[in-house]
Amino acid sequence: DIQMTQSPSTLSASVGDRVTITCRASQSISSWLAWYQQKPGKAPKLLIYKASSLESGVPSRFSGSGSGTEFTLSISSLQPDDFATYYCQQYNRYWTFGQGTKVEIK
Amino acid sequence: QVQLVESGGDLVRPGGSLRLSCAASGFNFSDYYMSWIRQAPGKGLEWVSYISSSGSTIYYADSVKGRFTISRDNAKNSLYLQMNSLRAEDTAVYYCVGAVAALYYFDYWGQGTLVTVSS
């Protein structure tokens, strides 16, 4: 099984900050990685697929990078609507999610 | 617009059974590859089961293999999850999700239905 590890688990930041979340895979997954945003009581929402492709309608302040085993999700200038939990997911072999990173207000 | 609406979640005793349904609309359901994802209270996301667009290919997570059965009815634009021998650790919100291609990321998500397994 492919394990996905995100860091940090919690991130405290202010509006306007640049934020970076890291996701590591236990083995190479090429670029078969997606990022999702989840708000309390809601379903996850797709942000990024194939490691760096922005889903339609997602603000350009979100970006993804990486390949192989190390990936990052960046938010260039944190907005009030961005405080949420973020999950990475590999789809190289079946599907596995990271444990999540909660972005909270500092 | 795209909608996935789950139903069937309930409180059930350990060892009991439950059938979840997911009604799809706003897209060509028969072209989509569907899965169930679950999220235990306060926890992360776990893939549960996958079914190809035609229903010919099915996968299960080890945690539910032999207990859960996924199926679909493309004529009714519906996805199902039959859950037997339920355990406390199956307690979760169950999401119906869709992917545009086989073994791909999930671009469509339902709102979820809560399954609680408790005596």
Query: Tell me: the pLDDT tens digits for A31-40?
Result: 999 999 999 9
Contacts of B102 (CB under 8 A, 6+ apart): B33, B52, B53, B57
DSSP B26: S
Residue A55, pLDDT > 90, answer yes
Cis peptide before A80 (omega within 30 of 0): no
Q: pLDDT value at position B10?
A: 97
Taking the Cβ of residue B35 and every Cβ of chain A, the question of whether any pair is shorter than 8 Å is answered with yes
Closest Cα in chain B, distance from residue A17 (Å): 25
Residue with tokens 């190809």: B52
- DSSP strands (E only) in chain A: 4-7, 10-13, 19-25, 33-38, 45-49, 53-54, 62-67, 70-75, 85-90, 96-97, 101-105
The Cα B50–Cα A55 span in angstroms is 22
| CB-CB neighbors (< 8 A) of A9 in chain B | none
Taking the Cβ of residue B60 and every Cβ of chain A, the question of whether any pair is shorter than 8 Å is answered with no
Residue B108, pLDDT > 90, answer yes
| CB-CB neighbors (< 8 A) of A36 in chain B | 45
**Radius of gyration in angstroms for the set of CA atoms belonging to chain B, rounded to a whole number:** 13
- DSSP strands (E only) in chain B: 3-7, 11-12, 18-25, 33-39, 45-51, 58-60, 68-73, 78-83, 92-99, 108-109, 113-117
The Cα A100–Cα A85 span in angstroms is 6
DSSP A55: P
| CB-CB neighbors (< 8 A) of A94 in chain B | 47, 50, 59, 61, 103
Query: Could you read off the pLDDT of A87-106 as tens digits, one per residue?
Result: 999 999 999 999 999 999 88
How much of chain A, in percent, has pLDDT values that exceed 90?
98
Residue A26, pLDDT > 90, answer yes
Nearest to A49 among B44, B47, B105 (CB): B105
Query: Could you read off the pLDDT of B60-72 as tens digits, one per residue?
Result: 999 999 999 999 9
The Cα A70–Cα B89 span in angstroms is 31
The Cα A75–Cα A6 span in angstroms is 16
Q: pLDDT value at position B3?
A: 97
Closest Cα in chain A, distance from residue B9 (Å): 16
Q: Quick check: B44 and A87 CB within 8 A?
A: yes
Q: Quick check: A55 and B107 CB within 8 A?
A: yes
Q: pLDDT value at position A106?
A: 87
Q: Quick check: B105 and A46 CB within 8 A?
A: yes
| CB-CB neighbors (< 8 A) of A96 in chain B | 47
Q: Quick check: B50 and A43 CB within 8 A?
A: no
Q: Report the b/e string of B83-99 with b at 16+ CB within 10 A.
A: beebeeebbbbbbbbbb
Written as six digits, the tokens of A61 are 């302040």
The Cα B50–Cα B97 span in angstroms is 9
Contacts of A57 (CB under 8 A, 6+ apart): none
